Amino acid sequence: MLTVFGTIALDTTRTPFHTVERMLGGTATFASISASKYVPTSIVAIVGNDFPASFLEILRRRLDIRGLTISQTEKTFHYDSSFDHDLSKRTTNKTELNVISNYQSTIPDEYVDSEYVYLANNDPVQNMRVLALFSGPKMIICDTMDFWIMNKRDEVMRMINKVDGIIINESEVKLLFKESNIFNCARLLVSKGPAFAVINKAENGSLLFYNNEFYPLPAYPTEIIKDPTGAGDSFGGAFIGFLSQNENVDSKILKNAVLHGNIMGSFAIEEYGVEKIVSINADDIKKRHEKYKEIFSF
Ligand code: AMP
């Protein structure tokens, strides 16, 4: 069983071409919907009393939502960001934690023995607290971002020490270690505890570091980009979803997990919010995987 913990948000996303207000977003949302294309997925998260019933329905139809808390007194986490004209640089306009601030997460009994746990980008203290509720997962993977690195760096480092793998953006890992060389960053991540690290570089692909080897892998060549929000989380969900279909982990399986991460990330950016990833099926994923194999063959 795979359980995803993270944020569910109402996202306002502004690009020079379009603005979408208070749509369904959040790291757990993207990661769990993406993972659900590979494996039955449970979500642990909190929303507020303003969370639309239609959004709840999107989650309920795809996920086990017994771990979802609905606060009657507070509002849903709200994130407002803007992208520049080439849709590569994001500026955070507003982060309203709301329900997230005092969230005392619990998990249903049925989730306790989850073998796979994905700690999507969230308060690292909350991530560690929820992790302690599981009986002993076989594989724990986390993600983090600049907001937490700047506000709770020590806690982020403690979280990294507790996981088997980490997925992180290039700019964020450079910020975390104040180190400009991406290979050094990968080595530093693994020296802190995880068995592997994946550093994502948007359209420049991903760098996997495992067993003292570097594996640079290209991004899927997506020609349509409307909204890059959630690409990293969709990557993470597909990555752990694919891993959970395999008994063991080795470099070949990890490389394939990166390809699936890139495939789901490529779908995520083609529409606003979760619009695209909710609509694709196993066949769409297979087609992109075939295309990847074709690109790789020399
Ligand atoms: P990304 O995959 O990096 O594009 O993640 C985008 C999602 O992260 C958005 O849907 C936001 O709601 C969510 N988000 C933004 N800031 C934070 C934060 N500080 N902690 C957790 N989630 C966040």
pLDDT on residue 59: 98
Considering the segment(s) 2-293 as one domain, its CATH architecture is: 3-Layer(aba) Sandwich (3.40)
- Nearest CA to 149 out of 130, 122, 128, 167 is that of 122
Whether 79 and 94 have beta carbons less than 8 Å apart is answered as yes
Say which residues have a Cβ less than 8 Å from residue 218's Cβ, sequence separation at least 6: 205, 262, 295
pLDDT on residue 121: 93
Q: Is the pLDDT of residue 296 over 90?
A: no
**Tens of pLDDT along 36-77?**
999 999 999 999 999 999 999 999 999 999 999 999 999 999
Can you read off the two tokens belonging to residue 287? 């087609």
Say yes or no: CB of residue 229 within 6 Å of ligand 1. yes
Ligand 1 atom closest to residue 229's alpha carbon, by position in its atom list: 4
Say yes or no: CB of residue 236 within 6 Å of ligand 1. no
> 114 — phi, psi (to 5°)?
-55, 130
Domain assignments of the chain as residue spans, ordered by start: 2-293
Rounded to whole angstroms, how far apart are CA atoms 234 and 30?
Answer: 5
Q: Is the pLDDT of residue 297 over 90?
A: no
Rounded to whole angstroms, how far apart are CA atoms 166 and 163?
Answer: 7
Say yes or no: CB of residue 5 within 6 Å of ligand 1. no
Starting at the earlier edge strand, list the strands of the sheet with 139-143: 64-70, 41-47, 2-5, 116-119, 139-143, 165-169, 196-200, 206-210, 213-217
**Tens of pLDDT along 207-248?**
999 999 999 999 999 999 999 999 999 999 999 999 999 989
Q: Is the pLDDT of residue 87 over 90?
A: no
Helical ranges in 2-143 per DSSP H: 27-35, 53-62, 124-131
**pLDDT > 90 in the chain, percent:** 92
**Tens of pLDDT along 252-273?**
999 999 999 999 999 999 999 9
- Nearest CA to 215 out of 160, 269, 257 is that of 257
Mutation to probe ligand 1, out of 79, 99, 122, 173 (largest number of atoms < 8 A from CB): 79
Rounded to whole angstroms, how far apart are CA atoms 97 and 122?
Answer: 10
pLDDT-based confidence at residue 203 (cuts at 50, 70, 90): confident
| 153-161 vs 124-131: helix crossing angle, rounded to 10 | 30
Ligand 1 atom closest to residue 123's alpha carbon, by position in its atom list: 20
Q: Is the pLDDT of residue 89 over 90?
A: no
For 12, other C-beta atoms within 10 Å of its C-beta total 18
Reduced to 3 states, what is the DSSP secondary structure of residue 100? helix
Mutation to probe ligand 1, out of 88, 121, 146, 168 (largest number of atoms < 8 A from CB): 121
Residue 67 forms beta bridges with which residues?
Answer: 44
Distance between start and end Cα atoms, the chain: 38
Rounded to the nearest whole angstrom, what is the distance from the C-alpha of residue 13 to the centroid of ligand 1? Answer: 11
**Tens of pLDDT along 132-148?**
999 999 999 999 999 99
**Tens of pLDDT along 159-195?**
999 999 999 999 999 999 999 999 999 999 999 999 9
pLDDT on residue 186: 98
Rounded to the nearest whole angstrom, what is the distance from the C-alpha of residue 203 to the centroid of ligand 1? Answer: 19
Rounded to whole angstroms, how far apart are CA atoms 257 and 2?
Answer: 15
